[in-house]
C-alpha cells in the first residue's frame, strides 16, 4: 500500500495512505470528516471511467493514515496536501474537497496558490466561514461546535451514530437512497479514526476561509444539497460561490450532506462535466450570479 511521510511524532513517522488509479488528467479527492478516502467509492469509478487519473488519500488521523496527536489545523492539513501533490509531481490537477475537505482545497489555494491546480470543486463544503459572528450572521453558533466536542469526549461511538443520521438524512433516505449496510460501513470507518483527531478537527471547522477564496482565480464548481443539515446551504454553498470570481453553483434538490452517496449520480455527472473528459474540448465555466 502506498504512503507518503508528512512529518514525525516522537519516534514514529506521520504517514498518509493514498490510492492512485487510472490514467489521464489527475483528480485528487479530499474526503470529509469523520470518514476516509473510501467514501469516494462512487466518484472514483465515475471519474476513472471518464478517463481521469484519480488519487484519494486519508487525512492524518483517519482511515489508514497515521494518527498523530497534533496537526488538525488547516495550515497543517493544507501542507499535507501540498506534500502529496509534490511527491506525486502532479500538474494541471483537479482538486475536489468534500465537507471538511473543502477547507483543505481553500487553504491550499490561498496559501500555495494554483500553480499546480487547473480547476477545483467544493462539495458540501465548510467554506467560506461556518462560524456565526457579527459579520457572518448566517453561520452556526459556537455552542454547536462545543456540544459536538463534548459529545465526542463522552461517548464518541454513540455520537457517530447520531451524526451519520443527519449526515445522510436517514429519516428520509434509509432504504431508498442508502442501505443500512452503507451506514454501518460509514460508522465503522468513522469509529476507527483517531479519537483525538476526530475531536480536534471540530475546532478547525470554525476557520475563516474568506480571504483564501478571494485569492482563487481558477474555475471552481460548488455543489451543495438544499437539505444539508451539517453545512447549511445558506451558510456555506451560496456564499462560497459568491466569494469566488470564477464559480458555478449547482444545488441538488433534496441533497443531504452526504450526497456523494445518496445523490451520487447527480454529483458524478456534475464532476465529469466540469472536469471534462481528457481529449475533449471543454468550455470554461462562467461565473454564476451572486445568490
Tell me what pLDDT residue 281 has: 44
pTM over 0.85: yes
197 touches 61 (CB < 8 A):
yes
Catalytic residue among 99, 194, 204, 247: 99
100 touches 204 (CB < 8 A):
yes
Query: In the annotation, is 99 catalytic?
Result: yes
Tell me what pLDDT residue 278 has: 77
DSSP string, 162-193: HHHHHHTTHHHHBTTTB-HHHHHHHHHHHHTS
Catalytic residue among 31, 52, 199, 257: 257
For 253-280, give one letter per residue: b (16+ CB within 10 A) or e: eebbbbbbbbbbebbbebbbbbbbbeee
39 touches 98 (CB < 8 A):
yes
Query: In the annotation, is 257 catalytic?
Result: yes
Task: Round to whole Å and give the CA distance between 29 and 220.
Answer: 14
Tell me what pLDDT residue 280 has: 52
132 touches 140 (CB < 8 A):
yes
Task: Round to whole Å and give the CA distance between 26 and 64.
Answer: 22
Query: In the annotation, is 208 catalytic?
Result: no
Tell me what pLDDT residue 277 has: 84
Tell me what pLDDT residue 1 has: 72
Structural domains in the chain plus CATH codes: 3-275 (3.40.50.1820)
Catalytic residue among 228, 247, 263, 268: 228
Task: Round to whole Å and give the CA distance between 54 and 56.
Answer: 7
Per-residue pLDDT of the chain (291 residues; tens, 9 = 90+): 799 999 999 999 999 999 999 999 999 999 999 999 999 999 999 999 999 999 999 999 999 999 999 999 999 999 999 999 999 999 999 999 999 999 999 999 999 998 999 999 999 999 999 999 999 999 999 999 999 999 999 999 999 999 999 999 999 999 999 999 999 999 999 999 999 999 999 999 999 999 999 999 999 999 999 999 999 999 999 999 999 999 999 999 999 999 999 999 999 999 999 999 875 543 333 333 333
258 touches 167 (CB < 8 A):
yes
Amino acid at each position: 500500500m502506498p504512503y507518503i511521510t508528512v512529518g514525525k511524532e516522537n519516534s514514529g513517522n506521520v504517514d498518509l495512505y493514498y490510492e492512485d488509479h487510472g490514467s489521464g488528467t489527475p483528480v485528487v479527492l479530499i474526503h470529509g470528516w469523520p470518514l476516509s478516502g473510501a467514501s469516494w467509492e462512487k466518484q472514483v469509478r465515475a471519474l476513472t471511467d471518464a478517463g481521469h487519473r484519480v488519487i484519494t488519500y486519508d487525512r492524518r488521523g483517519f482511515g489508514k493514515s497515521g494518527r498523530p496527536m497534533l496537526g488538525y489545523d488547516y495550515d497543517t492539513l493544507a501542507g499535507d496536501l501540498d506534500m502529496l501533490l509534490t511527491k506525486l509531481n502532479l500538474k494541471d490537477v483537479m482538486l475536489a474537497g468534500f465537507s471538511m475537505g473543502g477547507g483543505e482545497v481553500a487553504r491550499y489555494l490561498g496559501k500555495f496558490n494554483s500553480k499546480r491546480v487547473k480547476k477545483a470543486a467544493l462539495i458540501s463544503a465548510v467554506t467560506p466561514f461556518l462560524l456565526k459572528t457579527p459579520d457572518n450572521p448566517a453561520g452556526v453558533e459556537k455552542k454547536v461546535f462545543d456540544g459536538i466536542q463534548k459529545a465526542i469526549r463522552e461517548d464518541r461511538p454513540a455520537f457517530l451514530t447520531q451524526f451519520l443520521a443527519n449526515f445522510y438524512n436517514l429519516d428520509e433516505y434509509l432504504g431508498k437512497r442508502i442501505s443500512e449496510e452503507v451506514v454501518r460501513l460509514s460508522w465503522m470507518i468513522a469509529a476507527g479514526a483517531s479519537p483525538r483527531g476526530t475531536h480536534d478537527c471540530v475546532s478547525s471547522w470554525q476557520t475563516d476561509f474568506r480571504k483564501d477564496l478571494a485569492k482563487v482565480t481558477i474555475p471552481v464548481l460548488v455543489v451543495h444539497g438544499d437539505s444539508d443539515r451539517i453545512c447549511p446551504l445558506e451558510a456555506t454553498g451560496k456564499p462560497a460561490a459568491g466569494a469566488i470570481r470564477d464559480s458555478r453553483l449547482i444545488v441538488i434538490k433534496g441533497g443531504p450532506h452526504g450526497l456523494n452517496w445518496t445523490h451520487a449520480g447527480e454529483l458524478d455527472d456534475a464532476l465529469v462535466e466540469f472536469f471534462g473528459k481528457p481529449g475533449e474540448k471543454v468550455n470554461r465555466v462562467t461565473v454564476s450570479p451572486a445568490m
